Chain A
Amino acid sequence: MKIVLNNREEVFERDVMTVSDMITLKSFSFKLKIIKINGKLIPRDQYESSFINDGDIVQMFYLMSGG
């Protein structure tokens, strides 16, 4: 499958994956992050149950403490 991740095309060797799968495959290890799929925010407790499909536009950024 091919998706657009943070404005860049990425290819994954699978047909479908959960948000958790993507986090593992991309080693997005930092604890707190914001993830949107096609403009819709995915809350942290739905990473396991939310699917990313071919052609999806995914945005991810880390939330760093400090302010």
Chain B
Amino acid sequence: MKIAEIEKHLRKFRIGIAGAGGLGSNCAVCLARAGVGTLVIADFDIIEVSNLSRQYYFNDQTGQPKVLALQENINRINPEIAVIPFKVELNADNIQGIFNGCHLIIEAFDRAEMKEMLIETTQVKMPGVPVIVGSGLAGWGKSEDIKCRKIDDSLYICGDETLETTGELPPLAPRVAIVAAMQANLALELLMKME
């Protein structure tokens, strides 16, 4: 397949991104640059200066809702990519409606409890939609510990599955971006196999 055909193929798809922090913002930009046609991005949060250590935002965007700033940033990269922003806190009742029609979902939350909630909800309510989870990205170094793993056709996991963020082990741009890019890369792999 030549690049024009690949772009034409990827343009057909819609990906849901649950969270627009470190994982979500970097993953969304990767997918947009690669040419995935529609990105549905949900996050309730506002950009703070501390987010700029790893999230795909700029200093002059602090105070803005993340989903709107991300829409603007993606629009500046490629205005042909449709971004559908939802400034909401995702929960077990609204996930299905917001991500309805998505071919796959990127789990990009910060808190493990939210990751659990998204997985439990999608496994029950959206069983045919693959979910790519990020788990384990704190600190620095140890690039070789970060992996992708298939649980089954509906569930994949990217990360080192070991290091949780703490005060001494913060999330920093390189490892967060590695996991985000691996999630995006796996998403492309799945999309290229879809009709």
**How far apart sit A36 and B135, CA to CA, in the bound complex (Å)?**
17
Flag if B137 contacts A66 (CB, 8 Å).
yes
Give how many A-B residue pairs fall within 8 Å (CB-CB): 77
Binding site secondary structure of chain B: mixed
Q: Mark A47-67, 1 if CB is under 8 A from B, else 0.
A: 000000000000101111111
Name the interface residues of B40-71: CB closer than 8 Å to any CB of A: none
Complex Cα spacing A41 to B122, Å? 10
Stretch at the interface among B3-11, B79-87, B159-167, B185-193: B159-167
Partner of B149, one of A31, A39, A41, A61: A61
B161 contacts which chain A residues (CB < 8 A)?
61-62, 64
Residue-by-residue, is B78-121 near A (CB-CB < 8 Å gives 1, otherwise 0)?
00000000000000000000000000000011111101100110
Say whether B135 contacts A61, CB under 8 Å. Answer: yes
Contact of A67 among B113, B123, B171 (CB under 8 A): B171
Instruction: Say yes or no for B152: interface residue by CB 8 A criterion.
Output: yes
Tally chain B residues at the interface, Cβ within 8 Å.
36
Question: Contact mask B126-153 → A, CB, 8 Å, 1/0?
Answer: 0000000111111000000000010110
Question: What is the chain B residue whose CB lies nearest that of A43?
Answer: B120
Residues of B within 8 A of A39 (CB): 152
Q: A56–B110 Cα gap in the complex (Å)?
A: 32
A61 touches B151 (CB 8 A): yes
Which B residues lie within 8 Å of A59 (CB)? 151-152
